[in-house]
Structure 1
């Protein structure tokens, strides 16, 4: 049985996940306060709230009045061209201090639950094939973003202990869907153009989550009584290899899958030479997530399959 809520505040409301989540919340009859950093980023039927910056001093009082739940999606994410001399300090400024301050402000305003969208990067960057990350694994973040997300989680546990605020932490892997950017968008573009790719022999496994599946899981985390105080890893539950993913994308776009084999060792060497080791490493390595806890404890079943998600993702590319 779910807890009834009336008003929810969503940070990062105009982002990739935020827009979809706001639409899901509205469809379920909730009043949505959408927090953005852009005054012109209003969303249909969402009460837009503008903040200039998220940090340890942001004034949240005007946005939290009457809210039952805070869905915290906003964050400083991976920066392609980092210019800061101290990236970790910049990540901590927003992701740690900003998150803790928001949680304390929420508790003071009488908010019941705080759902924090963290990242699978808290667990690490890669798993051995056939081995999946779980909530019980020790944290092993490898970059400033992952470190800041882990530290934010710890700060939230402290706030929960001190104030009674119900905290729920969700760690998704790669999120995809219509409007996705970054490496996934580049992959779609390359497949659409019919560019031959040397990944036919790649036999890895990676967990993904379709953005609508994530929104559904987040809504459950906002309303299910058993979610309070828990951390959940979420995924579509259909792990795929890079080879399978490329082939699936080709099928849904009506394109030919132009894959050929190349020894993985040569792919890694080429990536090192062209300084693309991180990017190519994600295509060659495995990263699997065990989402059985959220399914078992909250009864969550992803409403969409990977094929459903991929069809929606490339709909405007066909």
Structure 2
């Protein structure tokens, strides 16, 4: 039995659907009784990632846990102490679950972490690798790093195998936040001052991330490894907008504003992090993942963008 936390989230739901399609025994952790899951999928009702949660029933008969639930990174976090909140859920809550999983005889714990553990940006011509010294800069990244460290310590003490996967930005049908906003701008034909950006950023289609997670559930070589994942093709912000526009059938209307001016403007309005994401590079090296697991991303960037566009159209037509 495979237990999936965060089963109603963007990644978790896609994973549950794939595992069900592959006819694997799946138990999905949900917080609402009215949630509909694919046929054949069991559900376990939980109260959240707290240190008071008793996972005994949810873990019964489970051999593998895929932990996709988390307090996610948000822009303009309103918490009084964001780091404390991230640690409460992403560190303490994760390690509480993992400790009970090990005690219950779970053999493998697959943890969906974040590329933010590596850092926020890469220099020109350089990439993040799985073996880099962690350098998280924000509270979310720090909490994911500390959870990884705690899981490795727990593994060494209990023998439970731990697999850590660090994805960059994940997109696909149902994606929210900035990626959804980008599709909305393109769909409405809004001119964007992003036509002269020559950075390089790694992304991962949700189908590719889910395919890697599914591989890591059973592959012997994945045990106790830290793995990076991406689509295998990096895009500039300008290229992403152009190709997303084609997927939507709405050619991107891009104005070639120099990145230096974009950075100045973003700093003036107090949003330098947005300029960094739009103009800076973040590239990941998935050579280790591909070689160790004999794995390649099954979905191309354009196919991933096409599926994201289809999902966007369905949502906006409701």
TM-score (norm 2): 0.96
* One of 87, 90, 95 as aligned partner of 2:85: 90
Matched, 1:42 2:46: no
C-alpha displacement of 1:139: 0.3
What is the aligned partner in structure 1 of residue 27 from structure 2? 33
Q: CA deviation at 1:211?
A: 0.2
Decide which of 190, 195, 199 is 2:194's aligned counterpart: 199
| 1:105-157 per-position Cα deviation (integer Å, ceiling 9, x unaligned) | 11111111000000000000000122110011110000111000000000000
Q: Deviations over 1:197-249 (max 9, x none)?
A: 11111000000000011000001111100100100001010000001000001
CA distance in 1 between partners of 2:29 and 2:252 (Å): 41
Q: CA deviation at 1:104?
A: 1.0
Instruction: Tell me, yes or no, if the aligned pair for 1:248 and 1:307 is still in contact at 8 Å.
Output: yes
Out of 4, 8, 12, the position equivalent to 2:2 is 8
Equivalent position SS for 2:141: helix
- Equivalents in 1 of 2:274, 2:173: separation in Å? 21
Unaligned runs of 5+ in 1: 1-6
Moved more, 62-71 or 252-261: 252-261
Q: Which of 101, 117, 136 is residue 131 of structure 2 equivalent to?
A: 136
Q: Which runs of 5+ in 2 are unaligned?
A: 314-318
Q: Distance in 2 between matches of 1:108 and 1:202?
A: 51
Aligned counterparts, 1:176-255, within 5 A: 176-255=171-250
TM-score (norm 1): 0.96
Q: Does 1:301 align with 2:296?
A: yes
- 1:121 maps to 116
Distance between the aligned counterparts of 1:129 and 1:206, measured in 2? 11
Give the match's secondary structure for 1:236. Answer: coil
Task: Find the aligned partners of 1:228 and 1:91 in 2 and give their Cα distance.
Answer: 26
Match of 1:286 in 2: 281
Structure 1 runs of 4+ aligned residues shifted over 3 Å read none
Q: Describe the SS at the equivalent of 2:190.
A: coil
Is 1:266 aligned with 2:261? Answer: yes
Q: What are the superposed Cα offsets for residues 61-112 of structure 1, whole Å, 9 maximum, x if unpaired?
A: 0011111100000000123443322211111111111111111111111111
